[in-house]
Amino acid sequence: MKVKRVFDCALAGVLLLFFLLPMCVIALWVRLSSPGPAVYWSQRVGRKNALFPMPKFRSMRRDTPAVATHLLGDAKAYVTPVGRFLRQTSLDELPQLWSVLRGHMSFVGPRPALFNQHDLVEMRTEAGVHRLRPGITGWAQINGRDELDSAAKTRFDAEYLARQSFLFDLRILWLTVWRVLARHGISH
C-alpha cells in the first residue's frame, strides 16, 4: 500500500517536529528520575518475522527481564514512577515515530511482538499476519491492549489483515486517540 507508506512518513515527520521539545523534556525527566538511558531499544519481530530494534522511552527499571509485561510476576514493581505516567499516557511510545520513518513500523498494524514471544509469533505466522508491517497501534490494541492473551491478539490481527484499508486505518487511529485519552486498557 503506497498510500499508507506516504501517509505514515508524512504524519511521522509532522509529529516528530511537533513533539520534538516534549520528547527532549521526557528524555531528561527519565534520565533524572532513575539510572539508565532515556530510550530503551528492544528487539521486536517485524514484517516477515524479521527482527528490528524498537525504541521506547524507558518506563521500567534497568534490571527488568526482557519479557512481555504481563509475564512479569509483579510488573508494577519494575515500573519507575515516571514510567507509570508515561505508560498511562502512552508517551513512552513517541520514539517509535522514528521506526515509522525508517520503515520498520507503520502507524496501524499488529503491535510488534518481543523477540521471545514465540507463541504469538507462531500464531501470527499461521494466520498470515506476519506479512504486515507492525504498528504503533492496531485493531488488537484498541480492543483490549494489555488485557488480551496471544490467541485473542492474533484473532484481532487476522481480522485487521482481512479488513485493512486506508479508511479502516483512520478509524483505528481515531479510536486510539480516544482510548489513550480515556486511559482504557492500560494495566501497568
Residue 81 CA to residue 4 CA, distance in Å, equals 36
Q: Which residue has the higher pLDDT, 182 or 150?
A: 150
Sequence length of the chain is 188
Q: Is residue 177 part of a domain?
A: yes
Do residues 106 and 168 make contact, with C-beta atoms less than 8 angstroms apart?
Answer: no
Q: Is residue 124 part of a domain?
A: yes
Do residues 124 and 155 make contact, with C-beta atoms less than 8 angstroms apart?
Answer: no
Residue 92 CA to residue 85 CA, distance in Å, equals 9
Any idea of the CA torsion for 34, 38, 43, 44, to the nearest 10 degrees?
110
pLDDT given at position 188: 47
For residue 129 the three cell numbers come to: 499476519
Q: Is residue 187 part of a domain?
A: no
- Total count of domains within the chain: 1
Q: What angle do CA 134, 132, 17 make, to 5 degrees?
A: 40
pLDDT-wise least confident of 63-67, 101-105, 120-124: 63-67
Average pLDDT (14-35) is 96
Q: Is residue 51 part of a domain?
A: yes
Q: Which residue has the higher pLDDT, 181 or 150?
A: 150
Q: Tens digit of pLDDT for each residue in 98-114?
A: 999 999 999 999 999 99
Average pLDDT (30-42) is 93
Average pLDDT (58-82) is 77
Residue 168 CA to residue 150 CA, distance in Å, equals 22
Q: Which residue has the higher pLDDT, 88 or 108?
A: 108
Cβ neighbors of 141 (< 8 A, separation 6 or more) are: 111, 135, 176, 179, 185
| DSSP conformation class of 90 | T
* pTM score over 0.75: yes
Percentage with pLDDT > 70 across the chain: 92
Which domain covers residue 15, as residue numbers?
2-182
Average pLDDT, the chain: 91
Residue 153 CA to residue 156 CA, distance in Å, equals 5
